[in-house]
A and B are shown apart, each in its own frame.
Chain A
Amino acid sequence: MSAAVKMLPPALDGRELYRAELGYVWSTLRRLGTSPSDLEDLTHETFLVALQRLAQFDGARAVRPWLFGIAFRVWVGRRRKGNREELGDAPDAESPAASPEAQLQRAQERHMVDEALAVLEPDRRAVFIMHDVDGHSAPDIARELDVPLNTVYSRLRLAREQLVKVVREKAGGRT
């Protein structure tokens, strides 16, 4: 007889996963510092890994921290191969209603964010993005980055200190 087949819980469809989270993974890799020329490939690679691991994914876990962890490792792996970070203009989705001036301003703001985040070493950058930008909990971060909870807190504190310094220096430079 055929094996018992159960209905797939709606939310665990691989295709729906990447359709729903494509923007998040792309943005995550961008914020981590992926060069514009590598964004598409690394995003694709991240989802390939995620889809392969979908079988082991615990439905009780939050999806985005899980995806962030995968994206981070994919990104770190690419860095180790020698791909350098570039802050160039990454192609981004734009609101069709935005004026050219608004789009330019938005691009400039994103570049400033990219510059600031690039100051942080990767591990601190990941924790800062996951916690302060994405709002993920420290325990989730610890689990997905596979580090102790105290390490998360320590890296977050140091990241914030570095970024405050950067922001003050930029503000001082403008006055």
Chain B
Amino acid sequence: MTPPPNELDALIRGARDLVGPPADVASRMIERLDAAAAGASTATATAGGAALSKSLLVFAGGALFVAGALSGGTVVWALRGAEVVPPIVAVVQPPPPPPAPVAAPAPEPPPVAAAEPEPEPARPIARKPPAAPPTASSTLEAERQLLDEARSGVVRGAWSEALKSAEAHRAQFPDGALAEEREVLAIQALSTTDPKAAAARAEAFRKKWPSSILEQVIEKVVPRDGSSPTPQ
């Protein structure tokens, strides 16, 4: 497809002025979504008693599947970097209907395996209270706080601040659960202030995470083919 006419350049630039909601609105929206997520998890977990005491999320080949029917239209998904156990997934038994199709690499009878009630009260991932934040001592929460700061900086165009938070995360959690997201934020911050550093970091990212879904984000600021980045 041919590029758009030059007369539309200013319009397109203006439309690309990607601004999200004000910070207070963004915070409120994230709280709502967190609450919806936790509420869905709780509803799924509490309905039906023991048989629904846990959720099983099976991941295969980079895709996420819910093994089991959804309950009342709610959805349960894994929260990364669970503060309780290294595997991110909480295990919940699906309701009676047969499980949803699971990708090939998934173990054959995941719902059956998940049907065994396992008293693992230490996996409250899906039951996190909606509003109460995790404890400050949580590694994941500490990671998230740093990346929230970095993300806020990126959204506001405060590149130095964003990079500072990303680097703080790298110093404290070099291989943390959110390392991939950290690198993306750092690359975004660097793409404006230090394109060469951004390119180097993007190359390292692509080697480490060749199938990352976040490649789409990096491609916008450090295209693989070396072309000019898409204005953000």
Do they bind each other? yes
A-B contact count (CB 8 A): 224
Q: Mark B1-35, 1 if CB is under 8 A from A, else 0.
A: 10011011011101111111111011011101110
Instruction: Say whether, besides A2-B116, A48-B36, A94 and B22 are in contact (CB < 8 Å).
Output: yes
Residue of A nearest to B89 (CB): A5
Interface band, chain B: 35 or more
Q: Mark A138-172, 1 if CB is under 8 A from B, else 0.
A: 10000000000000010010001001100110000
The one of A13, A27, A52 in contact with B78, judged by C-beta atoms closer than 8 angstroms, is A13
Instruction: Say whether, besides A5-B91, A113-B14, A11 and B212 are in contact (CB < 8 Å).
Output: yes
Complex CA distance for A59 and B110, rounded to whole angstroms: 21
Residues in chain B near residue A43, CB distance under 8 A: 21, 29
Residues in chain A near residue B209, CB distance under 8 A: 10
Interface residues in chain B, defined as those with a beta carbon under 8 Å from any beta carbon in chain A: 1, 4-5, 7-8, 10-12, 14-23, 25-26, 28-30, 32-34, 36-37, 56-67, 70, 73, 75, 77-80, 86-89, 91, 100, 105-107, 109-114, 116, 118, 148, 151, 155-158, 177-181, 209, 211-214, 216-217, 220, 230
Residues in chain A near residue B37, CB distance under 8 A: 14-15, 51
Distance between B174 CB and nearest chain A CB, rounded to angstroms:
14
Interface residues in chain A, defined as those with a beta carbon under 8 Å from any beta carbon in chain B: 1-16, 18-20, 22-24, 26-27, 31, 39-40, 43-44, 47-48, 51-52, 54-55, 57-60, 62-64, 91-97, 106, 109-110, 112-113, 116-117, 129, 131-135, 138, 153, 156, 160, 163-164, 167-168
